Structure 1
Amino acid sequence: MAILLAASSTDLRAASPSPPAASAKSVTVDRIKVHGAALEGNLEGESADRDVVVYLPPGYAANPSRRYPVVYALHGYGMTADAFAGLLQTPRTVEAAFASGAPDVIVVLPDTQTLHNGSMYSSSVTIGDWEGFITRDLVSYVDTHYRTLPDRLSRGLAGHSMGGYGVARIGMKHPETFGALYIMSPCCLSAREVPPPEAAASVEAVKTREEATKLGFLPRATFAVAAAWSPNPKKPPFYVDLPTSNGVVDRSVLARWAANAPLSMLDQYVFNLRRYQAIAMDVGDQDGLKVDAAELHERMDASGVENTFEIYSGDHGSAVASRFQNNVLPFFGRVLHSVGK
């Protein structure tokens, strides 16, 4: 959990990306609701109707017969789709990427905010099936309502921080849905440890949902992780097993958390990862997450999973917008299948 803290408490100030070229054309921004059947009936009471921001390329309306690849971008902990759009500086960065030669794609930003500030892009009876929401409900809706190329080789998945974790997790499990991955500054790659005693005590002391929303970052993140990875439907009102009870560490809960760490999951999903056309990962040289990210890269390399890894100058949030414009979207433009490419 200490690494998640280092990631999410960093000032997510984004360095200004290159300005759009004079020839940059406006994209169309759609703000929609997507119903997630996979989220229905979750014990936490999360809405199954999710906000989604969609960016359509400049020529979309003028070329009614053309179909496009799609890039799904997942936000980090404590964010919403709109907050992520602010961090990415979209639509300006999307327009600038297209103007600089990146092939046209549809860009989709889903909102996965929850009671405890983040879904971890995981699946549990407590929070709902967020993996299913992304891979089935969201993809199906976008393919049905927009002119996409409805094929895994024309779909990319990207994400930053908790979203980077989501890309690693979902990517390992669902190569039938996506054809390329871009993992940005991923959190939570290694097994979570028990939070410090003061934070653990504050978590145990909470009795109501209202109290939970007033917690500081680390206790609230502990609830988010527990809701995602150690659910317990017989423990209202939060329906979780916490990592401590009366100050005593519950190692069985930590083992359940560890089972959700991509560095622990990797060996069982090597063959899935080998199916991707391309996998890229990056992280800032001042980001505490770079050690785990480098290990994931090295472990994939050793397992025969082709991937590229870059450590750039920056911290956890300082270059997200410029990387999205100048690296992420051009990457997907190169590797995703599109008509006439």
Structure 2
Amino acid sequence: MKAVWASMAMAILLAAAAPVTASAKAVTVERIKVHGAALEGNLEGESPDRDVVVYLPPGYAADKARRYPVVYALHGYGLTADGFAGLLQTPRTAESAFAAGAPGMIVVLPDTQTLHNGSMYSSSVTTGDWEGFLTRDLVAYVDAHYRTLPDRRSRGLAGHSMGGYGVARIGMKYPETFGALYIMSPCCLSAREAPPAETAAVVEGVTTREAAARLDFLPRATFAVAAAWSPNPKKPPFYVDLPTSNGVEDRSVLARWAANAPLSMLDQYVFNLRRYQAIAIDVGDRDGLRVDAAALHERMEAFGVRNTFEIYSGDHGSAVASRFQSNVLPFFGRVLHSDGQ
């Protein structure tokens, strides 16, 4: 488990550079706020008004009649939308992808940062209904305020690390919203273990929100997972059930966590996954998450869910930007329905 969390931590520190095509035309960058009705009333006090970065393709302002497909890209644990933009090296990588021939599309980066550094893209009374925010509130806002093609066949969902987990999770449950998925170096695909004893002791000893916000990576990630997957409205101030009590594993909590692991969930969502126009999975050959990513591919294959899988040269964060430019955006350009199709 330490290796898995270490891979995720690395992505926070890395911002991979990608080549920029000299003839690239500029995209338009807009930073907006989107209100999420689905997030209202969450026990953790997360704001329902979320920062969102929107990239409009070259020519968007000039051709008022043209509509575009949309790619929603989900950031990893510990990042914000702007932090993810840094990791992806947008807008430069998007400009280069379009200059190299990828069809124009709108790219949307929502910010799902929380008290414990990440929403896990899950629905919880503690953190809020992040699934509802993404699939209803955000999509509806983007469709209402931009010239989109408001159809599942023209919407893609991509994400890296925790965002890759979010793509797998949301993709399984909402095929009526999205038409294609790109899962990059996904975390948390298999059932979680309880944290090591020293980490469990630190987590159990935290009593204030201020102290929780100062935790190191692994204890803070433990709180994030508990807030998403084992909420408890009767346990302030964090409203969670922890995976240990006085250092002893609570198997009922770990079972709740396991129920949120895509490798456990997949059997129940095979028919949903078969509806997608295309699914892609990739991971680096030096990424601690590569075994689970391969298992996701193999399980999909076993159930007749079409997908492509690639292991590339790199670790958890070293090739994210270059692959976003050369693989992710061209993938959606090929499989999403564009204006006139």
TM-score range, shorter chain: over 0.9
**Superposed CA offset, 1:299-339 (max 9, x none):** 00010000000000000000000000000000000000011
Residue 167 of structure 2: aligned partner: 167
Residue 61 of structure 2: aligned partner: 61
Relative distance call for 1:320 and 1:291 in structure 2 (3 A) is same
Check conservation: 1:3, 1:187, Cα contact below 8 A. no
Residue 263 of structure 1: aligned partner: 263
Aligned to 2:287, the other structure's residue is in SS state: coil
Check conservation: 1:69, 1:154, Cα contact below 8 A. yes
* 2:276 is the alignment partner of 1:276: yes
Q: In 2, distance between residues paired with 1:30 and 1:297?
A: 35
Residue 102 of structure 2: aligned partner: 102
**Superposed CA offset, 1:253-312 (max 9, x none):** 000000000000000000000000000010000001000000000000010000000000
Residue 291 of structure 2: aligned partner: 291
Residue 147 of structure 1: aligned partner: 147
RMSD (Å) for aligned C-alpha atoms: 0.9
Check conservation: 1:159, 1:183, Cα contact below 8 A. yes
Deviation, 1:24, is: 1.0
Relative distance call for 1:80 and 1:49 in structure 2 (3 A) is same
Q: In 2, distance between residues paired with 1:15 and 1:157?
A: 21
Deviation, 1:8, is: 1.7
Residue 211 of structure 1: aligned partner: 211
Residue 14 of structure 2: aligned partner: 13
Q: In 2, distance between residues paired with 1:33 and 1:246?
A: 42
Alignment of structure 1 residues 69-218 onto 2, 5 Å: 69-218=69-218
Q: In 2, distance between residues paired with 1:7 and 1:112?
A: 20
Q: In 2, distance between residues paired with 1:76 and 1:221?
A: 12
Check conservation: 1:163, 1:186, Cα contact below 8 A. yes
Deviation, 1:3, is: 4.9
Q: In 2, distance between residues paired with 1:313 and 1:280?
A: 17
Deviation, 1:248, is: 1.2
Q: In 1, distance between residues paired with 2:177 and 2:100?
A: 28
Alignment of structure 1 residues 296-311 onto 2, 5 Å: 296-311=296-311
Q: In 2, distance between residues paired with 1:18 and 1:171?
A: 30
Aligned to 1:9, the other structure's residue is in SS state: helix
Question: Structure 1 unaligned runs (5+)?
Answer: none
Give the letter for the 1:117 counterpart.
Answer: N
**Superposed CA offset, 1:184-232 (max 9, x none):** 0000000000000000000000000001011111110000000000000
Give the letter for the 1:58 counterpart.
Answer: P
> Percent identity, aligned pairs only?
84
Give the letter for the 1:101 counterpart.
Answer: G
Give the letter for the 2:86 counterpart.
Answer: G
Residue 318 of structure 2: aligned partner: 318
Check conservation: 2:79, 2:113, Cα contact below 8 A. yes
Residue 248 of structure 1: aligned partner: 248
Give the letter for the 2:31 counterpart.
Answer: R
- Report the count of equivalent residues: 340
Q: In 2, distance between residues paired with 1:116 and 1:75?
A: 15
Q: In 2, distance between residues paired with 1:4 and 1:30?
A: 34
* 2:25 is the alignment partner of 1:25: yes
Q: In 2, distance between residues paired with 1:269 and 1:276?
A: 12
Check conservation: 2:16, 2:89, Cα contact below 8 A. no
Check conservation: 1:15, 1:321, Cα contact below 8 A. yes
Check conservation: 1:102, 1:329, Cα contact below 8 A. yes
* 2:225 is the alignment partner of 1:225: yes
Q: In 1, distance between residues paired with 2:38 and 2:59?
A: 33
Check conservation: 1:281, 1:309, Cα contact below 8 A. yes
Q: In 1, distance between residues paired with 2:16 and 2:82?
A: 18
Give the letter for the 1:271 counterpart.
Answer: F
Deviation, 1:13, is: 2.4
Q: In 1, distance between residues paired with 2:168 and 2:339?
A: 28
Aligned to 1:287, the other structure's residue is in SS state: coil
**TM-score under structure 1 normalisation?**
0.98
Check conservation: 2:73, 2:157, Cα contact below 8 A. yes
Relative distance call for 1:97 and 1:142 in structure 2 (3 A) is same
Relative distance call for 1:3 and 1:126 in structure 2 (3 A) is farther
